Amino acid sequence: MPTTTFRRPDWRAPSVLPGFGLTFGFTLAWLTLIVLIPLATIFLRSAGMGWHEFVAVGFSHRALAAYRLSFGTAAAAGLVNALFGLLVAWVLVRYSFPGKRVVSALVDLPFALPTAVAGIALTAIYAPTGWIGQYLEPLGIKVAFTPIGITIALVFIGLPFVVRSVEPVLADLGHDVEEAAATLGANRVQTFSQVIFPAIAPALVTGFALAFARGVGEYGSVIFISGNMPGKTEIAPLLIVTQLEQYAYAGATAIATVMMLVSFVILFGLNTWQAVRRRRLGA
């Protein structure tokens, strides 16, 4: 009877749970079906147009302004969220207070709310006649229909990513490292900046990356508050929709391709940084 011997590839660690072939195959098939095929059609569509046309549409002044706005506001919102999301996560992990569960549920609400609802609500508040807008207007601060408004919308939808990424890591971080720092004479600022922050930084970067990625692709909440002035307050996803409405499918996919590549490079970079850091720490 012929026998087959299986040789495990070198990069695979031995495991008591069988089924690498099956699970890996399933993973690939699933990713292909859900992510790769739809993304590939974007490339194919944009490949249909010539290089010159691709550059002309994908890197037009209007498109470049839209990229700048989309990536810029998403990064700004991601940073704001990194700061305040960390604060919210800190409060949720460190303290117990009445209504804590309500606060925790509130954090997730931006996930559930239709983004258009958020957009309309934020516009109503920040418009020059709105609740907050009317007080900002005399100070010369315009929020609605400016990049600031877009950033606020993106902060709103991105908050849960940072909070939920940081929370478990913060909860896991033993109290004893802080106490160790204290016995060694570190003050509170030093304990936070040199002991706690470096420990949660990877989670914070993950949260930032998720919020940023979400912000780059966000459409629904932004279009109400942005004003959509081409070259000024027109985000890239809106430009794509505009192209589609004019039946310029190739143009739409060209812009989508550029966005996708930039996003991928940024996210891949952040992931690689984390992987390298983890390996270095021997964890």
Chain residues in the site for another protein (CB under 8 A): 174, 176-177, 179-187, 190, 194-195, 198-199, 280-283
CA 229 to each of CA 63, 69, 141, 177, 199: distance values in angstroms, whole numbers, following the listed order? 12, 11, 18, 51, 42
Q: Are 133 and 126 in contact (CB under 8 A)?
A: yes
Instruction: Count helices and strands (H / E) in the chain.
Output: 14, 0
**Of 111 and 273, CB closest to another protein:** 273
Q: Are 243 and 60 in contact (CB under 8 A)?
A: no
**Of 1 and 13, CB closest to another protein:** 13
Q: Are 143 and 155 in contact (CB under 8 A)?
A: no
**Of 47 and 201, CB closest to another protein:** 201
Q: Tell me how many degrees the CA angle 120-122-123 measures, rounded to the nearest 5.
A: 65
**Of 8 and 94, CB closest to another protein:** 94
- To the nearest whole angstrom, how small is the minimum distance from the Cβ of residue 178 to another protein? 9
**Of 198 and 230, CB closest to another protein:** 198
- To the nearest whole angstrom, how small is the minimum distance from the Cβ of residue 27 to another protein? 28
> Could you tell me the two tokens for 243?
């192209």
Can you state the angle between helices 147-172 and 61-94, rounded to 10 degrees?
40
Amino acid at 15: S
**Of 53 and 178, CB closest to another protein:** 178
**Of 3 and 187, CB closest to another protein:** 187
Q: Are 260 and 40 in contact (CB under 8 A)?
A: no
- To the nearest whole angstrom, how small is the minimum distance from the Cβ of residue 252 to another protein? 44
Residue (of 100, 78, 77) closest to 89 by Cα position: 100
CA distance 200 to 191: 13
CB atoms within 10 A of CB 246: 10
- To the nearest whole angstrom, how small is the minimum distance from the Cβ of residue 170 to another protein? 14
- To the nearest whole angstrom, how small is the minimum distance from the Cβ of residue 274 to another protein? 13
- To the nearest whole angstrom, how small is the minimum distance from the Cβ of residue 184 to another protein? 4
Q: Where are the beta strands (DSSP E) in 59-122?
A: none
- To the nearest whole angstrom, how small is the minimum distance from the Cβ of residue 211 to another protein? 23
